[in-house]
Amino acid sequence: MSARSSSRSLVTIDCDAQAPQTVAAYLRLEGDEAAFVETNTQKTLPALEAALVRSGVAPEAVRWIVVTHVHLDHAGGASALLARCPNATLLAHPRAARHLIDPSRLVASATGVYGAEKFAELYGTIEPAPEGRVRALADGETFALGNAELRVHHTRGHANHHFVVADPAMDTVYTGDSFGVVYPQLQRVGTYALASTSPTDFDPQAAHETIDRIVAFGSRTLHPTHFGAISDLPATAAQLHEWIDASARWLDAATENGQSYDENKRIIERAMHGEMQRQADRIGLALGKEDWALLALDLDLNSQGIAFVADRKRQEKAKPAS
């Protein structure tokens, strides 16, 4: 690492996954060491490597590659980045680590949703990470980066294999999907945030508790993966709590209404579209064609996630008592 980059800093990398400023990875620099938080997909590897070059950092200086959870927009590129950073260790939640070492179930699941051709277009190739280079972190465990100490906190609600990373030296927390989606494009007149309820583990109560827990850390900023630094924590948290409450109502209705998964997804998507519009109207945000195009994937995945959990709950209720 050059002298130019030997101080403490944080670089936000626009992964430009499907549109600019929708998916971020973070390059954390401390002394003569570096760490990545999030990797997006294999296709983002050139952007991650370019961030190292701009910062004057050699791949050999990367000590850690951290993924908040193994959804492929967060961890799909982890093994490819690990191969380019020979001294790095991949850090993950214990439930996530095994899927990084053997990604076959992740690949099979996503291929089943998208088809092989679309999967390859979106995610490229996902190779197994060498088991000896993967470390699972318990709740509250720390890892050192130069003179800084970072701590992970397991956070359910969005996914059962999710953690966030507190970075006191930067007075921030890398929140993955646990503190919602806050696209810069939609912050034109005030805070506009929505919760992420994508498949398969949405849990409203756990999601509420996670929001409160993150705020209670007392950090000046948060860095969600979607997208970049946020500092208006009270307003963001309030909106996320409203979204979780609305999502819980849709989940309860879908669990009880006797409709199929496909029909419930359509019902929830319509309701979610209306809630997006209502929240925008409340803050005076005029949602245009480009805004709705930006939100289309969230509408699809979030409604899918709620319908999926409702379907699972219905099946569990239908099981005969043992």
Reported as a single tens digit per residue, the pLDDT across 7-45 is 899 999 999 877 899 999 999 999 999 999 999 999 999
Mode of pairing for the β-strands spanning 24-30 and 9-14 = antiparallel
Number of domains within the chain: 2
Whether 17 is in a domain gets the answer yes
Reported as a single tens digit per residue, the pLDDT across 104-135 is 998 888 887 778 888 888 888 899 999 999 99
Tokens matching residue 88: 């790095």
Q: Which of 182, 199, 233 is the last residue of a domain?
A: 233
Q: Within this chain, do residues 201 and 216 fall inside the same structural domain, yes or no?
A: yes
Q: Within this chain, do residues 309 and 220 fall inside the same structural domain, yes or no?
A: no
Q: What is the per-residue DSSP string for 189-247?
A: SS---B----SS---HHHHHHHHHHHHHT--SEEEETTTS-B--HHHHHHHHHHHHHHH
pLDDT for position 240? 98
**151 three-state secondary structure:** strand
Q: Within this chain, do residues 154 and 253 fall inside the same structural domain, yes or no?
A: no
Q: Within this chain, do residues 254 and 213 fall inside the same structural domain, yes or no?
A: no
How confident is the model over 146-151, as a mean pLDDT?
98
What is the torsion angle, in degrees rounded to the nearest 10, for the CA atoms of residue 200, residue 202, residue 276 and residue 290?
-30
Q: Within this chain, do residues 201 and 247 fall inside the same structural domain, yes or no?
A: no
Residue 60 belongs to domain with CATH number: 3.60.15.10
pLDDT for position 321? 67
Reported as a single tens digit per residue, the pLDDT across 254-289 is 999 999 999 999 999 999 999 999 999 999 999 999
pLDDT for position 114? 75
Q: Within this chain, do residues 140 and 74 fall inside the same structural domain, yes or no?
A: yes
Q: What is the pTM of this model?
A: 0.95
Whether 179 is in a domain gets the answer yes
Q: Within this chain, do residues 214 and 286 fall inside the same structural domain, yes or no?
A: no
Domain extent, residue 186, equals 3-233
Q: Within this chain, do residues 180 and 151 fall inside the same structural domain, yes or no?
A: yes
Whether 104 is in a domain gets the answer yes
Q: Within this chain, do residues 63 and 177 fall inside the same structural domain, yes or no?
A: yes
Whether 322 is in a domain gets the answer no
Q: Within this chain, do residues 176 and 217 fall inside the same structural domain, yes or no?
A: yes
Q: Which of 233, 265, 290 is the last residue of a domain?
A: 233
Confidence of residue 211 (pLDDT cuts 50, 70, 90): very high
Asked if pLDDT for residue 56 goes beyond 90, the answer is: yes
Q: Which of 187, 212, 233 is the last residue of a domain?
A: 233
Q: Within this chain, do residues 288 and 258 fall inside the same structural domain, yes or no?
A: yes
pLDDT for position 320? 77
Whether 170 is in a domain gets the answer yes
Whether 204 is in a domain gets the answer yes
Q: Within this chain, do residues 284 and 203 fall inside the same structural domain, yes or no?
A: no
**22 three-state secondary structure:** coil
Confidence of residue 5 (pLDDT cuts 50, 70, 90): very low
